[in-house]
Amino acid sequence: MQTSAPEAAFTVGQIARAVRDIHQAELWYRDVLQLQHLFTVGTFAFFDCGGVRLYLFQEENESLPESIIYFAVPNIREAFDRLRGRGVEFVNAPHLVHRHGNGTEEWMAFFRDLEGRTLALMSKVGPTS
């Protein structure tokens, strides 16, 4: 008898990566790797990697931080409440981080894993979600 694997609770929606120069990195990821550039806001650039979003951010520190895994969820408030009920301590509550021209909103909430590394929930809300 074959059993099916449990349905995944989350999918990876975004991975963040620190870079020293956002303008140079944007050119390299777009022109050299030929990733689809989604948008740039200040010192943040976003690319599509086969459905997973790559978020580059400029960091001035000598040692660059680890990548952050963002878990895409359909309803960030429900996921936040469910995880808090399981004892997950969040750095912040779900909050708006960007509103696109078409009215779609991007919401996030950050938390830490057992070793103190940052993870996040992300959700798109609005006309094209």
Domains of the chain: 10-69 (3.10.180.10), 73-129 (3.30.720)
Measured CA to CA, the distance from residue 16 to residue 33 in angstroms comes to 17
pLDDT of residue 128: 58
Measured CA to CA, the distance from residue 45 to residue 105 in angstroms comes to 17
Which of 96, 79, 17 has the alpha carbon at shortest distance from 53?
17
At 32-85, the pLDDT tens digits run 888 899 999 999 999 998 899 999 999 888 777 788 989 999 999 999 999 999
Residues 6+ apart with CB under 8 A from 107: 76, 94, 95, 96, 97, 122, 123, 124, 125
Measured CA to CA, the distance from residue 56 to residue 14 in angstroms comes to 10
At 4-20, the pLDDT tens digits run 555 567 888 999 988 88
pLDDT of residue 66: 82
Query: Whole-model pTM?
Result: 0.69
